[in-house]
Amino acid sequence: MIKISAIIVGAFLTLLTSCDVISPTVCTEQFEIISVQVDGATLDKAYTLDANQDTVMVNNGPFIGGDNFYVVLDDSFQERLENSSEKFTFMGYANDSLLVNEVYEIGAGGCP
């Protein structure tokens, strides 16, 4: 059986940079990622699609954070998602068989 666990590395999807002093948003310079752990199989290929079915993130193997971790989205999408959210589909294959097809709604805060 394949088990999927969503892992948020750091604080949600927000490119945290210095903000205006009067802003109520706390910002840092950390680069954040959202990843999933797939238990029971190592994926041959994995990628993330946006709502238009465009590929937005390609995984070239498990993420360095541990065995069978794969990036769903990272802070390179912060500007696109600033103060909003979108649905993204993570697709994972092993031996040309679709094993993972999970939809995530991901948003970003107000740090530029």
pLDDT digits 0-9 by tens, 12-41:
333 333 344 455 555 566 667 788 888 888
| Confidence class for position 73, pLDDT limits 50, 70, 90 | confident
User: For residue 47, which phi and psi values (nearest 5 degrees)?
Assistant: -155, 165
CATH code for the domain in which residue 83 is found: 2.60.40
Number of domains in the chain: 1
Write out the residue range of the structural domain in which residue 58 sits.
3-108
Task: Spell out a b/e string for 17-45, using b for 16 or more CB atoms within 10 Å of the CB, else e.
Answer: eebeeeeeeebeeeebbbbbbbeebebee
Which pTM was predicted? 0.68
